[in-house]
Amino acid sequence: MKEETLCLHYKTYDYDELPALERQLIDSAKAVCASAYAPYSKFQVGAAAWLDNGEIVCGSNQENAAYPSGTCAERCTVFYANARYPESAVLILAIAASNTPGEFLSSPITPCGACRQVLLETQRRFNTPMRILLYGTSQVLAFDSIDALLPFQFTGEDIKL
């Protein structure tokens, strides 16, 4: 048997320490939480993406009584960005969440497994690192790419024969 250790590299910020653009993205993610359709979970998530063409696009989670039919804010945002601006890479993605409208969680949430896979595919599609900002009122976690959140990756290379 061989035992190994995996280390994750990320930074922790206070909101005020972030550059203006990153604060703007977080503010956009927080604002779009209000458009979340979350009648079942009451868990509102918003995401905002800054693209390499300078555009900012946003999305929120959209639930459905048949749970697999809904979508998370991260996928909503990235799929919209890819549909609207198919040649533009996502450079930064900010994510915020609340259980009560307007009251954001103290600790940041992380993307679910399905979202991590979609974010990875998007990053690989453009061969450009996607910075991830996870907002909480007590701290903001920053990852230089989705690789840190999905260290053991399943890619298109795995299914080539």
- pLDDT value at position 156? 76
* Cα-based distances in Å from 84 to 56, 76, 79, 116: 11, 12, 8, 21
Q: How confident is the model at residue 59 (pLDDT cuts 50, 70, 90)?
A: very high
Give the residues across from 59 on adjacent strands.
47
Could you report the per-residue pLDDT of 78-118, keeping only the tens digit for each? 999 999 999 999 999 999 999 988 899 999 999 999 999 99
Q: What is the mean pLDDT of residues 115-126?
A: 96
Which residue out of 63, 74, 121, 157 is catalytically annotated? Answer: 74
User: In 10 A of CB 31, how many CB atoms?
Assistant: 14
The domains located in the chain, with CATH, are 11-150 (3.40.140.10)
Give the residues across from 95 on adjacent strands.
47, 134
Give the residues across from 141 on adjacent strands.
12, 134
- Per the annotation, the verdict on 55 as an active-site residue is no
User: pTM (2 decimals)?
Assistant: 0.94
* Residue whose token pair is 């974010």: 119
Helix (H, G, I), strand (E, B) or coil at 84: helix
Residue 151 identity (one-letter amino acid): P
* Residue whose token pair is 């989705």: 146
Q: Is 115 exposed, middle or buried (0-12, 13-18, 19+ CB in 10 A)?
A: buried
| Best CA proximity match to 22, nearest among 76, 95, 77, 86 | 95
Angle in degrees, 0-180, between the axes of helices 113-126 and 73-84, rounded to the nearest 10: 30
Q: How confident is the model at residue 155 (pLDDT cuts 50, 70, 90)?
A: confident
CB 29 within 8 A of CB 58: yes
